[in-house]
Amino acid sequence: MAKSSDAAAEATPAKGKKSPLLLIGVAVVALALGGGAAWFFAAKTQAPAGTAEAKPKHANAPIFVTLEPFVVNLSGDVQHYLQVGIDLRVVDNHVNDQIKAHLPEIRNAVLLLLSSKTIETLSTIEQKNQLRAEIREAVNKPLGINTPAPKLDAPKADAIGEAHAAEPAKGEAAKGAEHKADEEGGVVEVLLTSFVIQ
């Protein structure tokens, strides 16, 4: 019996030495599994390299060029003044540099255009949008970009049906011209940031 109690006494310290090693081994395996799981989930949540290229081109911030405000006398028998603030949305900074280079020509064209208007031709939203298109044409012309402004024709009293039938074709032509201008560059939109008639 003495031998068995000595063997039990010797076995107990050996188990005590193995248990810290066993705990360390279990901890290392647990950390490795945890790190592997974290890497797996992190890699799964990141977007694949191919999807970064699929983002639309319009994700970039828009580029605006602000022109100094214009104050002009409107045409007509009664004297009215127009004060208008204009911001231009352009396709890239290269166009911004072109606008600065041609600024005297652009300001001249816009001033002449604005001063040719009467208070009656600037009263409705449609007429203001027409003005925006005409300003866009006037700004793009010195830049060498042809963007004809859509024309608003008043329908004739005797041919109302014909005028309405022709409107979709005009709209499609205007959209086509606008799309072509977007492809070529230049000013893609004119924004009226202030508009006061006195």
Structure confidence at residue 194 (pLDDT):
94
pLDDT band at 184 (very low <50, low <70, confident <90, very high): low
Q: Is the model's pLDDT at 42 over the cut of 90?
A: no
- How far is residue 130's CA from residue 126's CA, in Å, rounded to a whole number? 6
Q: Tell me whether residue 121 is in a domain.
A: yes
The amino acid occupying position 154 is: A
Q: Tell me whether residue 52 is in a domain.
A: no
Q: Is the model's pLDDT at 13 over the cut of 80?
A: no
- Judge if 15 and 99 occupy the same domain: no
Q: Is the model's pLDDT at 149 over the cut of 90?
A: no
pLDDT tens readout for residues 53-65: 555 555 678 899 9
- Judge if 21 and 75 occupy the same domain: no
Q: Is the model's pLDDT at 66 over the cut of 80?
A: yes
- Judge if 29 and 65 occupy the same domain: no
Mean pLDDT of 118-136: 94
- Judge if 133 and 96 occupy the same domain: yes
**Domain count of the fold of the chain:** 2
- Judge if 82 and 173 occupy the same domain: yes
Classify strands 81-90 and 63-73 as parallel, antiparallel or unpaired: antiparallel
State which residues form the domain around 152: 57-197
Task: Please provide the average confidence, as pLDDT, over all residues in the chain.
Answer: 75
Structure confidence at residue 1 (pLDDT):
53
Structure confidence at residue 157 (pLDDT):
38
Rg of the chain in Å (alpha carbons): 37
Q: Which of 40-44, 70-74, 135-139, 163-167 has the lowest mean pLDDT?
A: 163-167
Structure confidence at residue 167 (pLDDT):
41
Q: Is the model's pLDDT at 189 over the cut of 70?
A: yes
Q: Tell me whether residue 157 is in a domain.
A: yes
pLDDT band at 30 (very low <50, low <70, confident <90, very high): confident
